[in-house]
Structures are given as structure tokens and as C-alpha cells.
């Protein structure tokens, strides 16, 4: 029993370290892509359905979308579309979709 707990705590410590690292590097990426840029694109292409404060209108609320999807999954949803969500593959560059995915991934 004691052995088990020790292992669980050790595992938790390791997981915590990894999680800490990855969120730090996400912030680095975000700084490089330029948050303002993503917000500008959002204002032009997404506001009509998701509202200026991400609260949602025709589309769902995106205020906590970063807790639901990873950055890669967000890239997929924006580029390929999903249900009533249009595909932006041909309307935005890969860099622009990536900037949006990074930005939305931080909404938790
Ligand atoms: C024409 C309206 C419309 C526009 C414009 C639009 N969306 Fe959507 N979006 C939707 C709808 C509707 C859904 C729900 C799709 C479903 O789950 O069936 C959605 C879903 C999403 C989701 C997944 C949310 C979830 O909780 O599953 C994300 C992320 C998203 N949109 C981001 C964006 C971004 C970024 C843009 C701008 C590039 C954008 N949307 C533009 C209508 C729109």
C-alpha cells in the first residue's frame, strides 16, 4: 500500500513537471505568432457566429474551447469545418489558422 502511494505521488510529480513545461512552450509559440493577429482574424471571420467576446451566437461559446480541444484539434475544426461550422481551409492561410488555433487553445 505504501509502495503504491509512493509511486502515485512520483507519477503525479512527473506529470506536473511535463505539464508545466508544455504550457510554458505554448506561451512562447503564442508570443511568436502574435496574439493580436489572431484576434484581428477572429474579428473579421468568426465574430458573426461566435460573438466578439466568444460567447457564441449561431456558433457555440468558445470561451473555454481550449479546455475541450487541443491546438491540433482546433486547427482541424477551423480548417475542415464541423457541422454548421464552415471550413476555412481556402479562406485563410495555414499560418492564420494556426494563429487562431494557438489563441483559442489558450482559452480555458
Ligand atoms: C457561419 C457561422 C460560423 C462562422 C463564420 C464560424 N463558425 Fe465556428 N462554429 C459554427 C457552428 C454552427 C459550430 C458548431 C458546429 C458543430 O459542433 O456542429 C462551430 C464550432 C466551432 C468550434 C468548435 C466548438 C466546439 O465547442 O465544438 C470552433 C473551435 C470554432 N467554431 C471556431 C471558429 C473560428 C476560429 C472561426 C473563424 C475563423 C469560426 N468558428 C467561424 C459556426 C460558425
CB 66 within 8 A of CB 23: no
Class of domain 34-108 as given by CATH? mainly alpha
Alpha helices in 34-93 (DSSP H): 35-45, 47-50, 65-68, 71-80
**Confidence bin at 57 (pLDDT 50/70/90):** very high
pTM of model > 0.85? no
Residue 72 alpha carbon to ligand 1 centre in Å? 15
Q: Which of 32-36, 63-67, 83-87 has the lowest mean pLDDT?
A: 32-36
Q: Where in the chain are the domains?
A: 1-33, 34-108
According to the model, what pLDDT value does residue 37 have?
Answer: 85
Atom from ligand 1 closest to the CA of residue 101: 35
Given phi > 0 = left and psi -120 to 50 = alpha, else beta, which region is 12?
Answer: alpha
Q: Is the pLDDT of residue 23 over 80?
A: no
Query: Taking residues 4-20, what's their average pLDDT?
Result: 46
Amino acid at each position: 500500500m505504501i509502495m503504491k502511494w509512493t509511486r502515485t505521488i512520483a507519477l503525479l510529480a512527473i506529470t506536473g513537471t511535463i505539464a508545466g513545461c508544455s504550457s510554458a512552450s505554448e506561451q512562447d509559440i503564442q508570443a511568436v505568432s502574435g496574439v493580436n493577429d489572431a484576434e484581428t482574424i477572429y474579428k473579421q471571420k468568426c465574430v458573426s457566429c461566435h460573438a466578439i467576446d466568444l460567447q457564441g451566437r449561431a456558433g457555440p461559446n468558445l470561451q473555454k474551447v481550449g479546455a475541450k480541444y487541443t491546438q491540433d484539434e482546433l486547427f482541424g475544426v477551423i480548417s475542415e469545418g464541423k457541422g454548421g461550422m464552415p471550413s476555412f481551409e481556402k479562406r485563410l492561410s495555414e499560418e492564420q489558422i494556426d494563429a487562431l488555433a494557438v489563441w483559442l487553445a489558450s482559452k480555458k
